[in-house]
A and B are shown apart, each in its own frame.
Chain A
C-alpha cells in the first residue's frame, strides 16, 4: 500500500488525498442526512435543542465542503489561483472583523487602504515569492502608514484604540491568511509540487487539535482558565488537544518533507499557535459582546462566521511558515 502510494507522481498523490477528503465528507453528509430523516419533529425543548445542534452541524458540514472545494480548486488550477482564493477568504474575514468592530468616519481612508491596497499587495508579494518583503511588509510598513492616514483624517478621539483594531484585523485576516498560500510556494529540495500537502498538513493538524480540545472540554468539564473569555478553555483538554494534534502530525510524516521528529515538532508548534490564537480571538469577540463572528447566521450584520472557522489557521500559519523556513534554511 505504502509502496503503491510512493510510486505515484506528486499530482496523483495529491489527487488521492482529495479523493479521501471528499469521500469522508460524503459519508458524513449521508450519515447526517439519514439521521435528519429519522428525527421526529416535536415541541419538547430537548428536540428543539437537538434540532439546533443538527442545524449547527449542517452549517459546519457546509463550511467543510466549501473549504475542501476551495482547496481542491486552488490546487487544481495552480498556485496563482490558490493565492487569489486565499486572498478572497482573507477579504471576507477582514470584512467580518471590521463589520463587528465599530469604526469612525475618520477611519474611512485607512479602511480603503487596508482593503484595496494592503490586502492585494500582500497577496501579490506572496504570489511573486518576495519572501523577505512579505514577512515585514505589514508589521513594518503598513503599521506605520495606516496611523498616518488616520491622523490626517483629523479625528483624535480613541485614536490608539481605533488604529489597534484595524491593525489587528489586518494582522489576523491578511497577514495570517497570506501565509497559507505561501506554504504552497516553499521550495523543499526533492519536494516539488507538493506544497498542497504542507497546507493540508497544517490545516488538518490544527483542526484536529481544535476538535479534540472541544470534545474533551465538553466531556470532562474542568475549571476554565479564563472564564471571562472562554468557558471551554481548560489546561487539561488543551494539553490533550495539542498532544493529539502533534501525534497526528507525526503520523502524517509521509506526506511532508519532514522526518517524524520534525513533523511532531512542527505540528506541536502549529497546534499551540492555533489554539492560543483562537483563545485570543475569543477575547476580542467577548470585548465586542458577541460569542461568534456569525452568531449562527442570524446576526444583524449578516456576517457568516467565516472568521470563527479560520482564526486558528490565521495564527498557526505565520508561525508554522516562519519556523519551517528558519529551521530548514529555505
Chain B
C-alpha cells in the first residue's frame, strides 16, 4: 500500500520534472521477456526508464541497482526493493587494474571493475587481444550448462535468477556512470546473459538528458525534459565473438541518440 502510494508519488514527480517520455522506435512496448540495455550517466537513469515504461511493463521489468549505493540508507533500500523491485548487483571495490582495457572485464553492469574471473569464463578472461585458443568452448555449452556453471558468488547471479523467473531486466553495460558524450565500451555481462538466455529479446535504449537533471553531487533536481528511446532488438548471432557483439550492441545504443 505504502509502496503503491510511493510509486504514484515518484511517477508524478518524475513526470513533472522530466516528462519521462518513452519513444518506441524499432519495437513496440510488449510484454515479452526482454533485456533492456542503455547508456548510463546518472543514478536517476534507473528511475527514468522505470517511469517511461508503460504500467503493464513496469511491473514485470526489474532495473539493476548498485548494491552499495542503493542500500546505504534504509529509505533507499526500501525504495529499490518495494517500489522498483530492483535487482541488486555488487560492485565491490577492486584494486586498481594494471591495464585500463575494460574489454576483458568479466563483470556485469554497474561494475567499475571486475570481480575475480569466475571459473566459467576463465577462457574468455584473457587479455583483450586475439583469443589464444581459437576453438574455445565459449559457445559450445548449452545455455542451461552456462547457467548451471555460474557460481553463486558471480555478480551476474542475481540477474540470472531474475531472468530465470521470467522477469525482464534493465542493465547498463558500461558498468559505471559515464560523463563523456558517448558511452564507454560495454562490459561482457550483456554478452553472457545473451548466451545464457537466447530466447530473451535484447532491446537497446538511449537515455537522453538525465545527467542534466541532477549532476553528480547535487541534491535538488532541475526540471528538464528527458526521454528514453527504445530501438530495434539485436540478436546474438551463432558463433559471434564477445567483443564484436558488445561493440555492435554499443553502436545500437549510440545510433538511437540521433533518431
A115–B21 CB distance below 8 A: no
Indicate the member of A99, A105, A115 with the most B CB atoms within 10 Å. Answer: A99
Q: Which residues of B contact A91 (CB under 8 A)?
A: 223
Complex interface residues of chain B between 220 and 259 (CB less than 8 A to chain A) = 220, 222-227, 229, 257-259
Any chain B CB within 8 A of the CB of A111? yes
B209–A301 CB distance below 8 A: yes
Which A residues lie at the B interface, using CB under 8 A? 91, 94-96, 98-99, 103, 105, 108-109, 111-112, 115-116, 300-303
Q: Which residues of B contact A111 (CB under 8 A)?
A: 222
A108–B222 CB distance below 8 A: yes
Q: How far is the CA of A109 from the CA of B218 in the complex (A)?
A: 9
Q: Which residues of B contact A300 (CB under 8 A)?
A: 23, 208, 227, 229, 257-259
Tally chain B residues at the interface, Cβ within 8 Å: 19
- Beta-carbon nearest neighbor of B222 in chain A: A111
A303–B225 CB distance below 8 A: yes
Q: Beyond the given A105-B215, A301-B227, could you list 19 further A-B residue pairs with CB under 8 A, ordered by the A residue number? A: A91-B223, A95-B223, A95-B224, A98-B222, A99-B224, A108-B215, A108-B218, A112-B220, A116-B220, A300-B227, A300-B259, A301-B19, A301-B208, A301-B225, A301-B226, A302-B19, A302-B21, A302-B23, A302-B225
Any chain A CB within 8 A of the CB of B212? yes
Q: Which residues of A contact B218 (CB under 8 A)?
A: 108-109
Q: Which residues of A contact B259 (CB under 8 A)?
A: 300
A115–B229 CB distance below 8 A: no
A99–B225 CB distance below 8 A: yes
Q: Which residues of A contact B225 (CB under 8 A)?
A: 95-96, 99, 301-303
Q: Can you name 22 A-B residue pairings with CB atoms under 8 Å?
A: A91-B223, A95-B19, A95-B224, A98-B224, A99-B224, A99-B225, A105-B215, A108-B222, A109-B218, A111-B222, A112-B220, A115-B222, A115-B223, A300-B23, A300-B227, A300-B229, A301-B19, A301-B225, A301-B226, A302-B23, A302-B226, A302-B227
Q: Which residues of A contact B257 (CB under 8 A)?
A: 300
- Beta-carbon nearest neighbor of B259 in chain A: A300
Q: How far is the CA of A105 from the CA of B23 in the complex (A)?
A: 26
Q: How far is the CA of A94 from the CA of B225 in the complex (A)?
A: 10
Which B residues lie at the A interface, using CB under 8 A? 19, 21, 23, 208-209, 212, 215, 218, 220, 222-227, 229, 257-259
Q: Which residues of B contact A116 (CB under 8 A)?
A: 220
- Beta-carbon nearest neighbor of B22 in chain A: A302
Q: How far is the CA of A115 from the CA of B222 in the complex (A)?
A: 7
- Beta-carbon nearest neighbor of B211 in chain A: A105
- Given A105-B215, A302-B19, A302-B21, A99:B209 Cβ within 8 A: yes
Distance in Å: Cβ of B259 to nearest Cβ of chain A: 8
Q: How far is the CA of A35 from the CA of B105 in the complex (A)?
A: 60
Distance in Å: Cβ of B51 to nearest Cβ of chain A: 12
Indicate the member of B212, B223, B226 with the most A CB atoms within 10 Å. Answer: B223
The 5 closest A-B pairs by CB, nearest first: A302-B21, A99-B225, A111-B222, A302-B227, A301-B225
Q: Which residues of B contact A94 (CB under 8 A)?
A: 223
Q: How far is the CA of A301 from the CA of B223 in the complex (A)?
A: 12
- Beta-carbon nearest neighbor of A115 in chain B: B223
Distance in Å: Cβ of A205 to nearest Cβ of chain B: 31
| Of the residues B21, B23, B222, B258, contact of A112 by C-beta under 8 Å | B222
Q: Which residues of A contact B19 (CB under 8 A)?
A: 95, 301-303
Q: Which residues of B contact A99 (CB under 8 A)?
A: 209, 224-225
Q: Which residues of A contact B223 (CB under 8 A)?
A: 91, 94-95, 98, 115
Q: How far is the CA of A303 from the CA of B224 in the complex (A)?
A: 9
Distance in Å: Cβ of B220 to nearest Cβ of chain A: 5
Indicate the member of B19, B215, B222, B226 with the most A CB atoms within 10 Å. Answer: B222
Indicate the member of A91, A98, A301, A302 with the most B CB atoms within 10 Å. Answer: A302
Q: How far is the CA of A116 from the CA of B221 in the complex (A)?
A: 10
Indicate the member of A91, A109, A300 with the most B CB atoms within 10 Å. Answer: A300
Q: How far is the CA of A95 from the CA of B225 in the complex (A)?
A: 7
Q: How far is the CA of A221 from the CA of B229 in the complex (A)?
A: 39
Q: Which residues of A contact B209 (CB under 8 A)?
A: 99, 301
B212–A103 CB distance below 8 A: yes
Q: How far is the CA of A105 from the CA of B259 in the complex (A)?
A: 25
Q: How far is the CA of A153 from the CA of B220 in the complex (A)?
A: 15
Q: How far is the CA of A3 from the CA of B229 in the complex (A)?
A: 59
